[in-house]
């Protein structure tokens, strides 16, 4: 029970990758969509899960947000998630990677035609999507909402008062300052000392 479900988010806090693995995986290694982002853009959605449960949630989230390569959503994931019944060892993953890399890969030197991409997209959209008409579980929705909208105590010397606002509320409250969601999140987590004069005070 040491598996986590995590997401990597853009600066506007929208997710672009969903993954599962041991507690260190969200912060290390390299995926096909790139290296892990800064810690303030890594969100742990679920912890202490059995592998099978983590796979189920991963599939649910990927189906909900959709994949960019299929034209069904915003994620850079290249699979529907939930692969395998067990967490393979590092050696096993390396062997599989070698078997599927370079000239050994069936699509080496090739690319999908526009027609094929459109067909794949259509096969996963609308009523063809296994999650059509469904939504994320309340637990998962609450987890995401809590991570993105929890109020913090913010202070700026030019304002002289403490504001208890969520990160998204701060961005909307001071549009002229062009505040960054990612930078404010970094301040809230202690990764940054301040952002354009704003600091996060401990409750």
Domain boundaries, the chain: 3-85+113-144, 150-201
Per-residue model confidence as pLDDT tens digits over 125-150? 665 555 555 566 777 777 666 665 67
At 85, the pLDDT band (50, 70, 90 cuts) reads: very low
Write out the chain in H/E/C secondary structure. Answer: CCEEEEEEECCCCCEEEEEEECCCHHHCCCECCECCCCHHHEEEEEEEECHHHHHHHHHHHHHHHCECCCCCCCECCCCCCCCCCCCCCHHHHHHHHHHCCHHHCCCCCCCCCHHHHHHHHHHCCHHHCCCCCCCCCHHHHHHHHHHHHCCEEEECCCCCCEEEECHHHHHHHCHHHCCCHHHHHHHHCCCCCCECCEEEECC
pLDDT at 6: 93
State if pTM tops 0.75.
no
pLDDT at 181: 75
């Amino acid at each position: 029970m040491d598996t986590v479900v995590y997401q990597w988010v853009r600066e506007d806090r929208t997710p672009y990758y969903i993954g599962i693995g041991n507690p260190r995986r969200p912060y290390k290694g390299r995926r096909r969509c790139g290296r892990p982002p800064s810690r303030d853009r890594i969100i742990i959605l679920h912890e202490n899960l059995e592998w099978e449960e983590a796979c189920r949630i991963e599939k649910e989230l990927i189906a909900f947000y959709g994949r960019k390569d299929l034209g069904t959503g915003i994620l850079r994931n290249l699979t529907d998630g939930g692969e395998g019944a067990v967490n393979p060892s590092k050696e096993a993953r390396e062997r599989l990677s070698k078997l599927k890399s370079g000239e050994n890969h069936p699509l080496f030197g090739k690319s999908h035609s526009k027609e094929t991409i459109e067909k794949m997209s259509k096969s996963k959209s609308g009523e063809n999507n296994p999650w059509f008409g469904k939504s994320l579980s309340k637990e998962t929705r609450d987890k995401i909402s809590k991570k993105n909208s929890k109020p913090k105590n913010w202070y700026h010397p030019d304002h002289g008062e403490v504001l208890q606002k969520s990160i998204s509320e701060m961005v909307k409250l001071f549009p002229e300052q062009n505040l960054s969601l990612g930078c404010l999140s970094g301040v809230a987590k202690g990764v940054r000392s301040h952002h354009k004069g704003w600091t996060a005070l401990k409750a």
